Structure 1
Amino acid sequence: MSTKLNVLEHAMVPDHKIMGEDDVSELLSRYNITTEQLPKIYHDDPAVREIGANADDVIRIIRASHTAGRAEAYRLVVKRPKK
């Protein structure tokens, strides 16, 4: 019998959340950027799949930081190019 591993429960994987439209608009406005200027993350990344994100979603990644206490990063979900 195999059990499905939830990658988000691993100690080395930071918290991943799909951002709502209002939060994305606020983020883009705050930094005066477009979604295309955000760093990218592939749609088939294990954490992205686990939270159910789709291409064009924006993900907030929250990590523990020794210096800041908490660090947030943002990623645009994109499809992996076909070979």
Structure 2
Amino acid sequence: MTVEFDIQKHMLVPKHEIMTEEEISKEFSDVDYDFKDLPKIKADDSVAKSIGATPGDILRITRESQTAGVFVTYRIVEP
């Protein structure tokens, strides 16, 4: 018997979103580095798979913390 659940609903998993080209352009318009230098996440990562991320996608990961408030990081999906 296989039990399936939405991994993004687990309390320890931060929100992951695939960014659109427009969001990427807006968010990174004034940075001085290549997207290839972003931290990596594997395409076969459980959360990446659950949201349909493919190699080359940029993910926005939003964590909420009682001490830090809202903290956003970015990852590039690699094969």
Counterpart of 2:64 in structure 1 is: 64
Unaligned runs of 5+ in 2: none
* Alignment deviations for residues 22-70 of structure 1 (CA, whole Å, 9 cap, x no partner): 1112222232222111111000000000000100000000001233310
> What is the count of residue pairs matched by the alignment?
79
- Could you tell me how far apart the structure 2 residues matched to 1:47 and 1:29 are? 27
Q: TM-score, normalised by structure 2?
A: 0.89
What's the C-alpha RMSD, in Å, of the aligned pairs? 1.3
Unaligned runs of 5+ in 1: none
Q: TM-score, normalised by structure 1?
A: 0.86
Counterpart of 1:28 in structure 2 is: 28
**Identity rate of aligned residues, in percent?**
38
The answer (yes or no) to whether the contact 1:17–1:51 under 8 Å persists in 2 is yes
Counterpart of 2:55 in structure 1 is: 55
